[in-house]
């Protein structure tokens, strides 16, 4: 794991020093993600309604079987915004971490060259 990847995890290491709570590793996060995906999949399968035997246009369905479409449409639109915002937030966070690290290295290089020239 590179130094840039470790930076967001630093808080966990500090927490570990204070409370002795074990540090969450990348593998643990991966395992947790896998468990969440499995549980979510099992839930989706459990709430799945029985399949319809033949095609029936929505207009011909009885009123009690019809789902209001508007909330689904609004949800789809919201999901696009959420995914896009989420991705840009994640990207800008990662970019700022790398740029900070780049600045640190540049400063270090400046300091090194200063000491070399003084020496």
Partner 1 sequence: MLTRTPMALLIGAAAMFAAAPIFIAYAPNEATMGLVYKIVYFHVPAWFMMFLAIFVCGIASGIYLFKERVSADRLAYSAAEVAVLFGAIGLTTGPLWARVSWGVWWPWDVRTTLALILEMTFVAYLLLRKYGGPGSEKLSAGLALFGMFNVPFVYVSVNVWRTLHPQTTVVPQLPSAMAGPLWWCVVAYLLLFVVMISGRRRLEEQRAIVERLRLVYDED
Shortest Cβ distance from residue 11 to partner 1 (Å)? Answer: 20
> 101 near 3, Cβ under 8 Å?
yes
Q: Site for partner 1 (CB under 8 A): which residue of 16, 28, 40, 83?
A: 83
CA dist 7 and 11 (Å) reads: 8
> Nearest to residue 7, comparing CAs of 106, 102, 108?
102
Q: Site for partner 1 (CB under 8 A): which residue of 17, 59, 115, 119?
A: 59
Q: Is 94 exposed, middle or buried (0-12, 13-18, 19+ CB in 10 A)?
A: middle
Chain residues that interact with partner 1, rule: CB under 8 A: 2-4, 26, 30, 44, 47-49, 51-52, 57-59, 67, 69-70, 72-73, 75-77, 79-81, 83-84, 87-88, 91-92, 94-96, 98-99, 101-102, 105, 108-109, 112
């Amino acid at each position: 794991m590179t130094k840039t990847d470790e930076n967001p995890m630093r808080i966990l290491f500090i927490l570990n020093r204070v409370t002795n709570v074990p540090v969450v590793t990348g593998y643990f996060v991966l395992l947790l993600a896998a468990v969440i995906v499995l549980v979510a999949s099992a839930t989706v399968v459990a709430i799945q309604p029985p399949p319809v035997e033949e095609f029936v246009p929505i207009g011909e369905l009885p009123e009690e079987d019809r789902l209001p479409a508007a909330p689904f449409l609004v949800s789809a639109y919201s999901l696009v915004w959420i995914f896009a915002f989420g991705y840009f937030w994640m990207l800008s966070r990662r970019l700022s971490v790398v740029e900070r690290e780049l600045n640190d290295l540049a400063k270090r290089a400046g300091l090194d060259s200063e000491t070399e020239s003084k020496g």
